Structure 1
C-alpha cells in the first residue's frame, strides 16, 4: 500500500481499545478529572502509559498534576564542603532513586532568605517529600510544606513543627571526650586543659555536644577550665584566629583539642601546619566529624562519625509514615570513625 507521507495520529479510541477501558475514562484521565469521577490511580497510570506507547501527545508536567505525583524528592542543605553534608546528599540521592524518585539537592549556604526561596521553588515543582537539612530554624520552612500538603523531615538540626532525624550529638561528644581525657591522662597532662572549639552557641547540635563534653568531666568528678568551651563558628578562618589567641596566651597548643566540626578541624590543620613537628606531638586531637584524609596527618586524631545511611533511611521512613499531627525526634547513634574505609583504600 502506498504511503501518503503522513502518519495517522493515535486517538483516545486507540487508547481505549489498548487498555480495555471506556472512551469516557480515557478522556477523564487525559483531561485531569479522573479522580473526581473515582477512577482508580492504577487505571489512570495504565491509560497514560498506553498513551505514551501509542505516541499520543501526553504532557508529562500535566501527568504529574493529574496523578498528584511529580516523581521528585527534594533536599536543601547548607553546603557540600564537608564529608557529612556531602554524604547526606549522596545517600539521599541513592535512596530516592531506589524509590523511583528523581532527587533534587540544593545548597543554601545557611542563608534563611535562600532557604525560604529554594523551599518555595521546590514546592512549586510539586516535590513529593522535602528533607530540610542543617537549618537552624526550620519552622518557617515546615509551615510552607504543611500549607502545600508536602511531607517534610528536618535532618541534622531538629524542629518542633515536623519530624526530625539527628545524630546522637550528646552521647557522641561524651564518648569522644572520654577518649581524649584518657589519652591526656596517660601522657601525664591535666584533663582540665582539654578545649572544645567550634560550632554556634544556642544551636541544637553544638549545645548537645557541649553537654556531652561537660558530662564526661562531671562523671570523673572533674571540671573543664572556665574558658574551655569556645563557640567560634564553623569557618576555618575563625578557628585559626581562636587558636592563635590561645597559643599566644599559653605559648603552645592546648594539651587537648576537641574540634566541633570538620571545618573547624581544617582550621586547626591550617594553623598548626606552620608550627614545628614537635608542637603537633604535644597535644591530643579529636573531631566530631569524620574524613579519611586524617589518616595522612602527622599526628593521632580520634574522629566521631555520624551514620549518614541510617539518618537518611530513618528520614524516608518518617516521610513514608507521614502524620501531620506527629513530630517525632529520631536520634541516630554515632561511632568512632576508622581512618580508612576499604573503599578509600581501594582508590
Structure 2
C-alpha cells in the first residue's frame, strides 16, 4: 500500500471548506479574511491528523519572504536580554512570522558568523541587540539588502532604539543621595559595566551629572567599570571594602549581573554595615523588592523598545537615528 501525500484539497474536503480557506488557516492570514477561530482550529486538527506539513520553502518562493525575523543578542541568562528576547518573540509571532534568536556573547567573530548565517537563511529583517561592532554588522546587512535595526546599542549607519541611560542613572543617583546620610560626595561609587560601551558610558555621565549638580567633581576612583560579569563585580566590591575598611555611603550598581555579584559579597557582611549603604541598581530584578535592604531600581522597558524597533522596520527607516526610551524607576516597598 502506497502513502499518497496529502494536499490542502484533501483537508478542504474533510473540513467542508474551500482550499483557499485552508490555505489562510495554515499560513496565518485567516484573521484578515474573518475566518472564525473555531474553523481554523478544526482545519489545523485535520491537517495534523493527515500529517500534512506546510512547504515553507515553496511558500517563500511565492511570497518572496521567508517569514523569519532574526535577533542577535549578547546572552540569554540575563534578565534584561531575556526580556528583550521574549518580547521580540511575542511581537514577531503576533505578526505571523517566526522569530529566530541567536546569542553571540558580544564577541566580534560570533556576531559576524550569526549575521552571515541569518542572512543566508533569508531572514526578512534583523534586530541587533547589545552588539559590539554595530557599524560592521550594519554594512553586512546593507550589502545583503536586509532591513535591520539596533536595540540597546546605537549605530551610526542605521536606526537604533536605546534606553535613556544618562537621564535614568542621574535620576537613580538623586534618589539614592536623598535617601542616604552621605555628607562626603567622594564616598559615592558607581560599580559595574564596560566604560567602552555606550550604555555604561552614558550611565557614568548621568552619575557624574547628579554629583556635579551638588557641586562635586567625580574622581576616577569613584567609577569602578569592572565589566558585566558577576564575579568581577563581587571581586571589585570586596577589594574596595578591604581597602576602605567599610562600604561606600552610596553604591549605584550597573546591570543585574553586577548586582547579583555585589550581593554575593554583601551577604557576608553584618546587616548593620549594609544598612548604612544606600544601594541602587540600573536594571530590574523583581526579587530585589523582597530584600531586607531597600533597593531602588531602574527597569528598562523591553516591550516598548521592541515595539519601537519594529516601528522602524514597518516604516522602512534606513537613516541613522536614535530613539530613546525612558526607563521606569521602581522604588522599594517601605
Bin of the TM-score, shorter chain as denominator length: 0.7 to 0.9
Q: TM-score, normalised by structure 2?
A: 0.82
Taking the aligned partners of 2:243 and 2:98, their CA distance within structure 1 comes to: 53
Distance 1:284 1:154, change over 3 A: same
CA contact (8 A) 1:129 1:150 kept: yes
**Is the 1:97–1:103 contact (alpha carbons within 8 Å) kept by the matching residues of 2?**
yes
- 1:277 matched to 2:271? The reply is yes
Residue 262 of structure 2 is matched in structure 1 by 268
Counterpart residue number, 1:111: 107
Structure 1 residue aligned with 2:167: 171
**Residue correspondence of structure 1 range 116-131 to structure 2 within 5 A:** 116-131=112-127
State the number of aligned residues: 299
Structure 1 runs of 4+ with >3 Å offset = 4-10, 55-59
Question: More deviation in 231-240 or 294-303?
Answer: 294-303
Structure 2 residue 247 is matched with structure 1 residue 253:
yes
**1:48-105 deviations in whole A, cap 9, x for unaligned?**
xxxxx9x999843132133211111111101122211111000000111111111111
Q: How does 1:165-244 map to 2 (within 5 A)?
A: 165-184=161-180, 187=181, 189-244=183-238
What residue is the counterpart of 1:28 in the other structure? Answer: none
**For 1:61 and 1:91, how far apart are their aligned partners in 2?**
27
Q: Aligned pair in 2 of structure 1 residues 205, 7: CA closer, same or farther (>3 Å)?
A: closer
Q: Provide the rounded CA distance (Å) in 2 between the counterparts of 1:204 and 1:330.
A: 14
Matched, 1:333 2:326: yes
Give the alignment's Cα RMSD to 1 decimal. 2.8
Aligned 8 A contact 2:284 2:297 in 1: yes
2:80 and 2:87 mapped to 1: Cα distance? 10
Evaluate the alpha carbon distance shift between residue 224 and residue 69 of structure 1 in structure 2; reply closer, same or farther with a 3 A threshold. Answer: same
Contact 2:298 2:330 in 1 (8 A): yes
* 1:135 and 2:128 aligned: no
> Using the alignment, how far apart are the partners of 1:204 and 1:300 within structure 2?
28
1:100 aligns with: 96
Matched, 1:161 2:157: yes
Runs of 5+ unmatched residues, structure 2: 8-17, 21-46
Distance (Å, rounded) in 1 between the aligned partners of 2:5 and 2:290 = 67
Higher gyration radius (CA): 1
**What's 2:42 paired with?**
none
- 2:182–2:249 CA contact under 8 A, matched in 1: no
